[in-house]
Chain A
Amino acid sequence: QKEVEQDPGPLSVPEGAIVSLNCTYSNSAFQYFMWYRQYSRKGPELLMYTYSSGNKEDGRFTAQVDKSSKYISLFIRDSQPSDSATYLCAMEKGGANNLFFGTGTRLTVIP
Protein backbone atom coordinates (compact mmCIF):
# COMPACT_ATOMS: atom_id res chain seq x y z
CA GLN A 1 0.00 0.00 0.00
CA LYS A 2 1.30 3.43 -0.93
CA GLU A 3 1.73 5.89 1.91
CA VAL A 4 -0.23 8.54 -0.01
CA GLU A 5 -3.18 7.67 -2.23
CA GLN A 6 -4.64 10.07 -4.78
CA ASP A 7 -7.17 9.41 -7.53
CA PRO A 8 -5.32 10.15 -10.80
CA GLY A 9 -8.51 11.13 -12.63
CA PRO A 10 -8.72 12.55 -15.20
CA LEU A 11 -11.36 14.95 -13.95
CA SER A 12 -13.30 17.24 -16.30
CA VAL A 13 -15.62 19.96 -15.04
CA PRO A 14 -17.43 22.92 -16.64
CA GLU A 15 -16.17 26.42 -15.99
CA GLY A 16 -17.55 27.82 -12.73
CA ALA A 17 -17.91 24.43 -11.04
CA ILE A 18 -16.59 23.62 -7.59
CA VAL A 19 -13.77 21.11 -7.77
CA SER A 20 -12.93 18.70 -4.97
CA LEU A 21 -9.56 16.94 -4.95
CA ASN A 22 -8.66 14.41 -2.28
CA CYS A 23 -5.82 12.39 -0.84
CA THR A 24 -5.68 9.78 1.87
CA TYR A 25 -2.64 8.64 3.80
CA SER A 26 -1.73 5.82 6.10
CA ASN A 27 1.14 7.16 8.21
CA SER A 28 0.10 9.20 11.24
CA ALA A 29 3.63 10.68 11.37
CA PHE A 30 2.73 13.10 8.56
CA GLN A 31 2.38 16.56 10.03
CA TYR A 32 2.68 18.99 7.12
CA PHE A 33 0.39 18.91 4.12
CA MET A 34 0.79 20.64 0.79
CA TRP A 35 -1.01 21.02 -2.50
CA TYR A 36 0.99 21.76 -5.62
CA ARG A 37 -0.27 22.64 -9.10
CA GLN A 38 1.77 21.47 -12.06
CA TYR A 39 1.20 22.68 -15.59
CA SER A 40 2.46 20.58 -18.45
CA ARG A 41 6.25 20.69 -18.80
CA LYS A 42 6.62 22.90 -15.74
CA GLY A 43 7.68 22.35 -12.14
CA PRO A 44 5.13 22.09 -9.31
CA GLU A 45 3.87 25.39 -7.91
CA LEU A 46 2.97 25.56 -4.22
CA LEU A 47 -0.72 26.37 -3.72
CA MET A 48 -1.43 25.58 -0.09
CA TYR A 49 0.60 24.59 2.97
CA THR A 50 -1.10 23.48 6.16
CA TYR A 51 -0.14 21.95 9.46
CA SER A 52 -3.13 21.45 11.67
CA SER A 53 -6.51 19.86 11.09
CA GLY A 54 -9.12 22.25 9.80
CA ASN A 55 -9.57 24.57 6.85
CA LYS A 56 -7.26 27.11 5.26
CA GLU A 57 -8.54 29.47 2.61
CA ASP A 58 -6.64 31.46 -0.02
CA GLY A 59 -8.77 33.15 -2.65
CA ARG A 60 -10.68 30.50 -4.58
CA PHE A 61 -8.74 27.68 -2.93
CA THR A 62 -9.55 25.95 0.36
CA ALA A 63 -7.37 23.24 1.85
CA GLN A 64 -8.90 20.91 4.39
CA VAL A 65 -7.05 18.51 6.67
CA ASP A 66 -8.65 15.80 8.81
CA LYS A 67 -5.87 14.09 10.71
CA SER A 68 -8.24 11.75 12.54
CA SER A 69 -9.41 10.31 9.21
CA LYS A 70 -6.03 10.75 7.49
CA TYR A 71 -7.72 12.66 4.69
CA ILE A 72 -6.92 15.94 2.99
CA SER A 73 -8.83 17.89 0.39
CA LEU A 74 -8.41 20.84 -1.91
CA PHE A 75 -11.49 22.74 -3.05
CA ILE A 76 -11.44 25.11 -5.99
CA ARG A 77 -14.40 27.49 -6.27
CA ASP A 78 -15.53 29.14 -9.50
CA SER A 79 -13.11 27.00 -11.49
CA GLN A 80 -11.49 28.59 -14.54
CA PRO A 81 -9.93 27.09 -17.68
CA SER A 82 -6.58 28.34 -16.37
CA ASP A 83 -7.00 25.92 -13.44
CA SER A 84 -6.53 23.03 -15.87
CA ALA A 85 -3.41 21.28 -14.60
CA THR A 86 -2.27 18.32 -12.53
CA TYR A 87 -2.74 18.75 -8.79
CA LEU A 88 -0.35 16.95 -6.49
CA CYS A 89 -0.85 16.45 -2.79
CA ALA A 90 2.32 16.09 -0.73
CA MET A 91 3.08 15.36 2.90
CA GLU A 92 6.02 15.60 5.21
CA LYS A 93 6.85 14.02 8.55
CA GLY A 94 7.85 16.27 11.39
CA GLY A 95 11.61 16.83 11.61
CA ALA A 96 12.29 15.22 8.23
CA ASN A 97 12.70 16.72 4.78
CA ASN A 98 11.34 14.09 2.45
CA LEU A 99 8.10 14.84 0.67
CA PHE A 100 5.70 12.01 -0.03
CA PHE A 101 3.64 12.75 -3.12
CA GLY A 102 0.33 11.51 -4.36
CA THR A 103 0.20 10.41 -8.00
CA GLY A 104 -1.48 13.67 -9.02
CA THR A 105 -4.99 14.35 -10.34
CA ARG A 106 -5.28 15.73 -13.85
CA LEU A 107 -7.99 18.42 -13.98
CA THR A 108 -9.54 19.95 -17.09
CA VAL A 109 -11.92 22.91 -16.77
CA ILE A 110 -14.02 23.22 -19.90
CA PRO A 111 -15.00 26.75 -21.03
Chain B
Amino acid sequence: GAVVSQHPSRVICKSGTSVKIECRSLDFQATTMFWYRQFPKQSLMLMATSNEGSKATYEQGVEKDKFLINHASLTLSTLTVTSAHPEDSSFYICSAKPQGNSNQPQHFGDGTRLSIL
Protein backbone atom coordinates (compact mmCIF):
# COMPACT_ATOMS: atom_id res chain seq x y z
CA GLY B 1 0.00 0.00 0.00
CA ALA B 2 0.87 3.74 -0.03
CA VAL B 3 2.15 3.90 -3.60
CA VAL B 4 3.08 7.23 -5.16
CA SER B 5 3.50 7.40 -8.92
CA GLN B 6 5.48 10.15 -10.59
CA HIS B 7 5.53 10.86 -14.31
CA PRO B 8 7.55 11.29 -16.43
CA SER B 9 10.65 9.65 -15.05
CA ARG B 10 12.98 11.42 -17.45
CA VAL B 11 12.72 14.64 -19.45
CA ILE B 12 15.25 16.14 -21.81
CA CYS B 13 14.26 19.40 -23.45
CA LYS B 14 15.53 22.66 -24.82
CA SER B 15 16.04 25.80 -22.81
CA GLY B 16 12.89 27.91 -22.60
CA THR B 17 10.52 24.94 -22.58
CA SER B 18 7.96 24.49 -19.81
CA VAL B 19 7.86 21.04 -18.26
CA LYS B 20 5.00 19.51 -16.29
CA ILE B 21 5.57 16.72 -13.76
CA GLU B 22 2.69 14.73 -12.28
CA CYS B 23 2.52 13.12 -8.85
CA ARG B 24 -0.29 10.68 -8.07
CA SER B 25 -1.16 8.78 -4.92
CA LEU B 26 -2.47 5.47 -6.29
CA ASP B 27 -4.07 3.75 -3.31
CA PHE B 28 -4.73 6.55 -0.85
CA GLN B 29 -5.93 10.12 -0.74
CA ALA B 30 -3.47 12.85 0.09
CA THR B 31 -4.50 16.27 1.36
CA THR B 32 -0.86 17.26 1.37
CA MET B 33 1.85 16.53 -1.16
CA PHE B 34 5.42 17.75 -1.22
CA TRP B 35 7.89 18.63 -3.94
CA TYR B 36 11.62 18.17 -3.43
CA ARG B 37 14.72 18.79 -5.47
CA GLN B 38 17.86 16.69 -5.16
CA PHE B 39 21.30 17.45 -6.55
CA PRO B 40 23.86 14.66 -7.09
CA LYS B 41 25.16 13.15 -3.85
CA GLN B 42 23.08 15.52 -1.77
CA SER B 43 19.99 15.07 0.34
CA LEU B 44 16.49 16.16 -0.59
CA MET B 45 15.64 19.84 -0.43
CA LEU B 46 12.00 20.76 0.12
CA MET B 47 10.74 23.19 -2.50
CA ALA B 48 7.07 23.51 -1.62
CA THR B 49 4.13 21.98 0.18
CA SER B 50 1.08 21.39 -1.98
CA ASN B 51 -2.33 21.49 -0.31
CA GLU B 52 -5.45 20.21 -2.07
CA GLY B 53 -7.75 23.05 -3.01
CA SER B 54 -5.48 25.86 -1.86
CA LYS B 55 -2.26 27.61 -2.80
CA ALA B 56 1.04 25.90 -2.30
CA THR B 57 3.45 27.01 0.37
CA TYR B 58 6.92 27.66 -1.00
CA GLU B 59 10.20 27.41 0.88
CA GLN B 60 12.44 30.43 1.11
CA GLY B 61 14.37 31.03 -2.08
CA VAL B 62 12.03 29.02 -4.32
CA GLU B 63 10.41 31.14 -7.03
CA LYS B 64 6.68 30.45 -7.08
CA ASP B 65 6.31 31.93 -10.57
CA LYS B 66 9.02 29.61 -11.82
CA PHE B 67 7.74 26.45 -10.17
CA LEU B 68 3.96 26.35 -10.51
CA ILE B 69 2.16 23.84 -8.32
CA ASN B 70 -1.41 22.68 -8.71
CA HIS B 71 -3.14 20.24 -6.37
CA ALA B 72 -6.57 19.92 -7.93
CA SER B 73 -7.62 16.62 -6.38
CA LEU B 74 -6.82 14.40 -3.41
CA THR B 75 -4.71 12.12 -5.60
CA LEU B 76 -2.91 14.46 -7.99
CA SER B 77 -0.43 17.29 -7.71
CA THR B 78 1.50 18.79 -10.61
CA LEU B 79 4.72 20.78 -10.74
CA THR B 80 5.35 22.90 -13.82
CA VAL B 81 8.84 24.26 -14.36
CA THR B 82 8.22 27.30 -16.51
CA SER B 83 10.71 28.50 -19.11
CA ALA B 84 13.26 25.99 -17.89
CA HIS B 85 16.96 26.77 -18.15
CA PRO B 86 20.04 24.55 -17.70
CA GLU B 87 20.36 25.54 -14.04
CA ASP B 88 16.93 23.96 -13.45
CA SER B 89 18.34 20.56 -14.40
CA SER B 90 17.95 18.35 -11.36
CA PHE B 91 16.15 15.35 -9.87
CA TYR B 92 12.64 16.35 -8.75
CA ILE B 93 10.83 14.08 -6.29
CA CYS B 94 7.32 14.29 -4.92
CA SER B 95 5.88 12.74 -1.79
CA ALA B 96 2.42 12.36 -0.33
CA LYS B 97 1.01 11.98 3.12
CA PRO B 98 -2.19 9.91 3.64
CA GLN B 99 -5.23 11.97 4.45
CA GLY B 100 -6.75 11.96 7.90
CA ASN B 101 -3.99 10.90 10.23
CA SER B 102 -1.27 13.53 10.36
CA ASN B 103 1.03 11.02 12.02
CA GLN B 104 1.44 9.00 8.84
CA PRO B 105 4.85 9.15 7.13
CA GLN B 106 5.48 10.62 3.70
CA HIS B 107 5.69 8.21 0.78
CA PHE B 108 7.83 9.15 -2.19
CA GLY B 109 7.54 8.82 -5.93
CA ASP B 110 10.45 7.56 -8.01
CA GLY B 111 11.49 11.03 -9.12
CA THR B 112 11.81 12.86 -12.43
CA ARG B 113 15.24 13.51 -13.87
CA LEU B 114 15.06 16.82 -15.73
CA SER B 115 17.81 17.81 -18.15
CA ILE B 116 17.64 21.16 -19.88
CA LEU B 117 19.92 21.57 -22.89
Cα distance, A21 to B93, chains bound together (Å): 24
Interface size class of A (residues with CB under 8 A): 20 to 34
Q: Which residues of A contact B93 (CB under 8 A)?
A: 43-44
Interface size class of B (residues with CB under 8 A): 20 to 34
Q: Contact: B102 with A95, CB < 8 Å?
A: yes
B105 close to chain A: CB less than 8 A: yes
Q: Contact: B97 with A43, CB < 8 Å?
A: no
Q: Contact: B105 with A102, CB < 8 Å?
A: no
A98 close to chain B: CB less than 8 A: yes
Name the contact of A43 in the complex, choosing from B2, B42, B49, B110 (C-beta under 8 A).
B110
Q: Contact: B105 with A41, CB < 8 Å?
A: no
Where the two chains meet, the residues of B that have a C-beta atom closer than 8 Å to any C-beta of A are 2, 4, 6, 32, 34, 42-44, 46, 49, 91, 93, 95, 97, 102-103, 105-111, 113
CB-based closest 9 A-B pairs? A43-B108, A43-B110, A101-B43, A49-B105, A43-B111, A44-B108, A103-B43, A43-B93, A43-B109
Q: Could you list 18 further interchain pairs (A-B, Cβ under 8 angstroms) beyond the known A46-B106, A99-B46, A101-B43?
A: A32-B103, A34-B105, A41-B113, A43-B108, A43-B111, A44-B93, A45-B108, A46-B108, A49-B105, A51-B103, A88-B44, A92-B105, A98-B46, A101-B44, A102-B43, A103-B42, A103-B43, A104-B43
